[in-house]
Amino acid sequence: MSDSRAANDGEITHEGGTVNDGDSANDGTVNDGGAAHDGRAAVSEVVNVGREQVHVVEEGPADGPPLLLSSGLGGAWFDWRPSADLLRDRNRVIAFDRPGLGLSPAAIAAPTLRREADVLAALAERAGRPVIAVAHSMAGFHAEALARLRPDLVRGLVLVDPSYEPHPHELVRFAAAATPLATAAGVLLGATRLARVLGPIGRRAVLKHTSRRDEPVPDVVVRSVYGRGTVLGTVIAEDLAYREQAVDLARLRERRPFPAVPLIVLTALGDVKGEAKRREWSEGHARLARMTPYGSQVDLPDARHMVQLDRPDAVADAVAEVLRAEETV
By the 8 A CB rule, do 52 and 25 touch?
Answer: no
pLDDT digits (tens, 9 = 90+) for 84-95: 999 999 999 999
Residue 205 has what pLDDT? Answer: 95
Residue 23 has what pLDDT? Answer: 56
pLDDT digits (tens, 9 = 90+) for 169-187: 887 899 999 999 999 999 9
Q: Which residues contact 289 (CB under 8 A, 6 or more apart)?
A: 263, 264, 265, 295, 296, 297
Average pLDDT taken over every residue of the chain: 89
Task: Order the strands of the 92-97 sheet from edge to edge.
Answer: 43-49, 52-59, 92-97, 66-70, 131-136, 154-160, 263-268, 295-300
The model's pTM: 0.89
What is the enclosing helix (H) or strand (E) of 202? helix 195-210
Residue 41 has what pLDDT? Answer: 62
Of 8-12, 142-146, 192-196, the one with minimum mean pLDDT is 8-12
pLDDT digits (tens, 9 = 90+) for 109-157: 999 999 999 999 999 999 999 999 999 999 999 999 999 999 999 999 9
pLDDT digits (tens, 9 = 90+) for 232-245: 999 999 999 999 99
Residue 103 has what pLDDT? Answer: 97
pLDDT band, residue 33 (cuts 50/70/90) = very low
Contacts by 313-317 with C-beta closer than 8 Å and gap 24+? Answer: 313/86, 314/266, 315/83, 315/86, 315/87, 315/134, 315/158, 315/160, 315/266, 316/83, 316/86, 316/87
